[in-house]
Structure 1
């Protein structure tokens, strides 16, 4: 299977019911756009609806950090870019960006996903064909630079206290 580096989703458009009282995309829907983009990645990897129905396995998000960089408005079209950073037999670390059709970056996201056996539910190893897909994607994405926004720490930025002249 040939993977594009990074993966780029099909275009998605901001819908009216997703707007908040400020007239721009509500924070929850940035997650929706990222999620719809990653669903397209999962289809390529074989983590699709037939796989979930046949195996009872799925993916869960363990953690996701989102940074809002520029507001989206009604009718804006974006694509979700996906870069696989790391994976093992049960989990995968990834980075995403939402790019406006006019060429500017709207938001970034960094996530940790888990492969889940829903009968527990519990974290479970991925089957060989899924791991092979992740390995092939990792190989394709290995030439990409590590995004500078990966591993960001959240907190209030404070200016250092000024020394008092005496």
Structure 2
């Protein structure tokens, strides 16, 4: 990881929709948005040093505790996609992220996902603080991301529209 974190959201690699993920409505099935969001988070976790090697060598990982997905525009087979991730906040055990799922060529927004992840000791299977070196990496990214304009949709609740 570079010493100075970029003051921009993390951007995943460009990903492709797999044919078996298209449902009978002819678009990406809702479950596979989460697969794509998770793949993007895995890429960010590598940058933070909490990917598969961290799990194998240090017996730590993250579990998603909460997730709120908004589906805004259909995405179809053949559409290239890219996910941007903001690390909104963190403490010694939790990471609060927000993700935007966009058409990689045209730039329009297809979906968002807001998540709370917990740091786990995989031997004890319980929530524990991140090690100090990882906390430093997380703090650097969170600080850099705090200077970037926040995307719309953070903190939204699910509710019926107000009656007029």
- Counterpart pick for 1:119 among 120, 123, 129: 123
1:91 matches 2:97: no
What's the CA shift string for 1:63-88, capped at 9, x where partnerless?
01000010010111010100011000
Q: 1:132 & 1:116 partners in 2: Cα distance?
A: 17
Tell me, in whole angstroms, the C-alpha distance in 1 between the residues paired with 2:124 and 2:51: 20
In 2, Cα distance between the equivalents of 1:118 and 1:127?
14
1:139 Cα offset (Å): 1.6
Secondary structure at the residue paired with 1:98? strand
Distance 1:79 1:109 in 2: 13
1:50-129 pair list within 5 angstroms: 50-101=53-104, 102-129=106-133
- 1:7 maps to 10
State the shift of 1:3 in Å.
3.0
- What is aligned with 1:136? 140
Output the aligned Cα RMSD.
Answer: 1.0
Counterpart CA distance in 1 for 2:133 and 2:78 is 38
| Residue in 2 that maps onto 1:163 | none
Matches of 1:15 and 1:158, distance apart in 2: 38
The TM-score with structure 1 as length reference comes to 0.93
Q: TM-score, normalised by structure 2?
A: 0.94
Cα deviation for residue 118 of structure 1 reads 1.5
In structure 2, distance between residues paired with 1:48 and 1:158: 43
C-alpha separation between the residues in 1 aligned to 2:23 and 2:159?
25
Post-superposition Cα deviations, 1:83-102, rounded to whole Å, max 9, x if no partner, equal: 01100000011100011021
Q: For structure 2, which runs of at least 5 residues remain unmatched after alignment?
A: none
Per the alignment, residue 159 of structure 2 pairs with: 155
Q: State the structure with more CA Rg.
A: 1
Deviation at 1:157, TM superposition (A): 1.3
Q: Does 1:22 align with 2:25?
A: yes
